Amino acid sequence: MMPQVICFDIDDTLTESKQPLSVEMSILLTALLRKAKVAFVGGGSFEQFKKQLLDQMPNDSEFANLYLLPTSGSALYEYALGEWTLVYVEKLSEDEALKIRDALMEAAESTGMIDMHSPSYGDRIEFRRSQVTLSGLGQNTPLAEKVTWDPDKKKRQAMRAALTPLLPHYDIKIAGASSIDITKHGINKAFGVRKLSEHLHIPISDMLYVGDALFPGGNDEVVKETGIKTQAVKDPAETALVIKALLA
């Protein structure tokens, strides 16, 4: 039976890290939107969602059935009257963002995992309104370099361990191929799933979450606390098979 809402992680689930949606995935999602409500849930900003996902989909897609949960579920957008409308956002203050930035600089220096003064592919630290994101080599790192920088996540695990006592009131999540996402405590993908359920008046028991990091310590694992049904995948190719099975 088709769930009423299917939620998808982004990087390494729908696409490779920060890469545009493929033509095949765009076709599959367009077909799925005709049959169910769909949500995209990821650490990127709304602008990143638009560039990476929305701009790759046909203009006549059933966007009214699509919901966007950027910055790890700390914001929700829906499509109404021909435009994307913000439903809620859990904003960080400028002081909070500066505190997080300072903690990132301190953790990078104390662990020696990142030389914050070396050249990078764009900014390493990005304030995404409701989230601060650290990218190990910079926001615009080529995929080939990004995936080889910290494949076993040990660099980011060391950073996270150093950050935890510095930021006790924030959630610190290892994300994507080279990122760490930081939000207010309790503001995460589980929060986003609950808020979407409330907004749509659809019980979580009628929802499905598809992600590549549902394993212990993965950045999708937290959704399990909501009781949502989950489907683990290892890459976009497996996600395509899941969508085809749903459509069948």
> What is the structure's pLDDT at 176?
80
Q: What is the largest CA-CA distance in the chain?
A: 53
Q: Select from 146, 172, 181 the least CA-distant residue to 71.
A: 181
pLDDT tens readout for residues 219-234: 899 999 999 999 999 9
Helix, strand or coil, per DSSP, at residue 96: helix
- What is the value of pTM for the model shown? 0.87
Distance CA 5, CA 38 (A): 6
Distance CA 240, CA 22 (A): 11
- In tens digits, the chain (248 residues) has pLDDT values of 799 999 999 999 999 988 999 999 999 999 999 999 999 999 889 999 999 999 999 999 999 999 999 999 999 999 999 999 999 999 999 999 999 999 999 999 999 999 999 999 999 999 988 899 999 999 899 989 998 999 999 999 999 999 999 999 999 988 888 999 998 999 999 999 999 999 999 999 999 999 999 988 788 999 999 999 999 999 999 999 999 999 99
Distance CA 39, CA 28 (A): 14
Residue 87 CB coordination number (10 Å): 15
- Domains in the chain with CATH codes: 5-89+187-247 (3.40.50.1000), 94-184 (3.30.1240.20)
